[in-house]
Structure 1
Amino acid sequence: MVAISTVATMVLGFGVWVHHMFATGLPVMSLAFFSAASFVIAVPSAIGVFAWIATIWTGKPQFTTPFLFFAGFILLFVIGGVSGFMTASVALDWQLTDTYFVVAHLHYVLLGINVFPVIGGIHYWFPKMSGRMLDERLGKWTFWVMFIGFNAAFFPMHISGLMGMPRRIYTYPSGMGLGWLNLLSSVGAFVFAAGALLFLINVAKSLRAGAVAGDNPWDAPTLEWATTSPPPVYNFATIPQIASRYPLWEDRLKESEERSVVGDAAPDGMVLDRGKETIGVTLLDAEPNVVLKMPGDSILPFLLSVGMMLLFFGMLAQVIWLMVFGLVCEIVILAVWLTPQPHVAEERVEVYE
């Protein structure tokens, strides 16, 4: 359901952005269509929120720093989503356009929905990347300082925007009752910055003297924690074969009678030690049976993007020769890129024991 809701959000997003243009004199039919799209997008967003809550509710959450950042993200997602959902109403949008209400919504989306889960993810995967743990106490301080500072900075902007505080204006009459709201936002911004500084201090401190993480400090079930921390450049000497959704918990949960083959402890398997390779499997049983050669590094994708840039720049500037040149470059590069390479198509059926 989360995957479907994410795709639906992306599709509906093509029509949602127009609610930023409601005050520009669009036709009534356009207002109705894009207003409806802005309302409907709340449905897949709500599916995601309830799925995340259900994941926490049905599990046994450990209140570590990564969890705090993710739980805080859910709350900020709801606030940012509801404030955006409100602008779907054309009449209300006309009143909120170019006010601090829009600034508040924007920052809840950009910072609250993006920055908080990213920092939580860094806390979670930092031991796998570096081999050392981030300081847990400093991490929790980081969360609470950033969370309190963020909400102190941007939540009052909803109120000041409703009171008529325009965006992009640095001064205003003293009798509007906006002074304390803007002061609170300024203080909150500095508190949030202090939290970001705590995070950077934690990273620098832990890289030098953090506790050694071990292979799986979180007792996580997924395969990235089956390797050493940090992992070797080749990840696995032999590709692991798994028999459940939680291979590292398999013995404990007894979900499968057949033990997973995990990591370098695999007794046998296909060794991928001759360049860029991967395994192929049988169609019905997904049993590994071949080793496939993979394409190597190539500059062609970059050249393709350059050709695309020339093509569209020529179209925008109405420079016909540049547009044609970019199109020809695109065709030639695509033909070269997609031409089958004999050494890539090679397969060998070998199993090393």
Structure 2
Amino acid sequence: MSDIGAVLLRQVEPETAHRLAIRALATLPLPKPPADDPILRTTVAGLDLPNPVGLAAGLDKNGEALRGLSRLGFGFVECGSVTPLPQAGNPKPRLFRLSEDRAIINRMGFNNDGLEAFAARLDARPRHMVVGGNLGANKDTEDRAADYVLGLKRLAGRADYFTVNISSPNTPGLRALQGRAALDDLLGRVAEARSGPQPVFLKIAPDLSEAEIVMIVEAALAHRIDGLIVSNTTLERPASLKSGLAGEAGGLSGAPLRDLAQNALIHAATASEGRLPLIAVGGIASGADAWARIRAGASAIQVYSALIYEGPGLVAAIKRDLAARLRAEGFSTVSEAVSTGR
């Protein structure tokens, strides 16, 4: 899928455009990307990454487009969120472009084909790429922690890492799992269910206070979670928003999330003191944004909403910029630059 294709897709209703993009990535014979600059190779929680630029969850919810995504130059790709049982998600419309703000609001509600379809697609995935499985809970489940355990067990050996997503704002009550008692129960059961070397990350919301982030870091360390992904979409609506769609319910992502997500990352980096790898996501739309997150404490970054506005060429642009900045600052690896701006 080209940057021109991304421009054309922005003329189509958002959810229809999303489906068309997935279909194109699943079927078009995309060329193999050029080899990454060796300075970009890095390791995060034991994952050997050719570069630190990943795709955030939400684009490929069902693992349908992994072959095409493997040709876009990402260092790693996260699919999902996937729930044990298929579910339709929230009523449409549920996805909105705030073009004036270079932002997205979604209230999708974990719409996906379920674990069995997801597992089958991971069995057929390209083996040369690092793929993560983002785990969610069904809306009507009585035991949400059990849903995460089911996902972890069913996808064991199929995904290279797992993300426990407790920060989506679009499943009622899900973010309550970020409280200490519920978090201890969930992470304790996840720790018991782990059966392989694949790292497990925890994805948190950007709307947490500094004290709440400190608590989550300590809980993650206590239960041997391998890292945090900071952060998910926000329920906040900055006063700077210009779009008439700003009042739509759901999680806001894209450019307006940048400062909030960066602040959450800084709090997580301060609390973890290097004990917990961090992956930054939220409002990253350039090499400068990616570099700022790395300097603030992120070992890797993820993009999604910016791809809608910048096109898939954004991945190569960020990588070029990062490689140039590393050399200009005298670093020989990405890991050397982590937290150097704090």
Fold-level similarity (TM above 0.5): no
**Normalization by structure 1: what TM-score?**
0.23
State the TM-score, normalized to the length of structure 2.
0.24
Q: Identify, as 1 or 2, the structure richer in strand.
A: 2
Larger radius of gyration: 1
Comparing both chains, which one has the higher relative contact order based on Cα–Cα distances under 8 Å and sequence gaps of 6 or more? 2
